[in-house]
Every structure is written in C-alpha cells, then in structure tokens.
Amino acid sequence: MTKRTIKEVIPIRASREEVRRCILSAERILQYYPMGNGSGDIEPGRSFYCKGRLGVSLFEVLQNDPDYILLNVHNATSCAPPYTAERIKRAAMFSMLEDWHLEEDAGNTILTRLWRDFERRRFKLLPIEALVRIAAKLESSSIRRHWSAPR
C-alpha cells in the first residue's frame, strides 16, 4: 500500500447538504466518471457501483458525517454483471480511500477531495497513482462544470 495523497479543492455553488446527497447517490458519479455508462445501488446508503468502458468501480461508504464522507473504492477492469460487492472486489485491479470534506461558506460549499492509501491487487507495475491523478483532474473539471451551471 502506498500512502501518497492526491488532493483537489473545488468551490461549489450549492449547499453542503445538496453536495452530500449528490456524493452518496449512485447516479451522481455519472456526472464525472470517465466514460461512465451506468450505475446502481448495491446496498442502498452503504455501497454502489459505476461502470464505464474501462471497467467498474465499487464505492463503499465507511463514514458519513455532515461535513465528511469517506469511501473505500475498488476498481476492476474485468468484471461482468450482475455487479455485487464481492465480485467487484475479487476482480479489483486496485483499491483506495476517497475523502470528501465539505465546508459550507455563505450557502456555498468548499469541497476538498483526497485520494489516498492506494493498494495494488493486479498489474503491479501499472502506475496507479499517476492514472488516478489524471482521472482526478478530469473529474474535478467535470464537477466544477456541473455545479457552476445554472440550475
């Protein structure tokens, strides 16, 4: 396991509660998941998945506080439906923790996202942290666009 951390800070024009609901929704990830084409709940309120052209990710809620959400993320490149937590974990290429810190500021939210504690399970030579860093930049850009658009 590596302890490197990738960090992004994103100002959002929405309340902390709106952002929290979005983070914990299986559909929310399709707003920014790279090439996402489907998502769903595995255990409502506790785990969900998102699939894309490159694989499927499992998101397990480890902590859910008003200003902090911690997700355990498992990423698999070769996992066929039906998607279950066990199947995705078994096929996982790597896992990591994803922290979401939410600070309310005059009705808006400062979102700080951290990706950390990367654990490779397959493809040991693949530069997982570099790939996550690239994806994080793309995701953050999509999140900014989504939350800055008029609603």
Q: Give the model's pLDDT for residue 149.
A: 64
Range of the domain at 64: 2-148
Q: Which amino acid is at 106?
A: A
Confidence band (pLDDT; 50, 70, 90) for 102?
very high
Report the SS3 class of residue 85: helix
CATH code of the domain containing 87: 3.30.530.20
pLDDT in tens, 82-100: 999 999 999 999 999 999 9
The span from the CA of 148 to the CA of 151, in Å, is 9
- Which residue bears the tokens 């929290």? 20
Number of domains present in the structure of the chain? 1
Bridge-based pairing of strands 47-52 and 36-43 is antiparallel
pLDDT band at 21 (very low <50, low <70, confident <90, very high): confident
Q: What is the pLDDT of residues 34-91, one digit of tens each?
A: 677 889 999 998 999 999 887 899 999 999 999 999 999 999 988 989 999 999 999 9
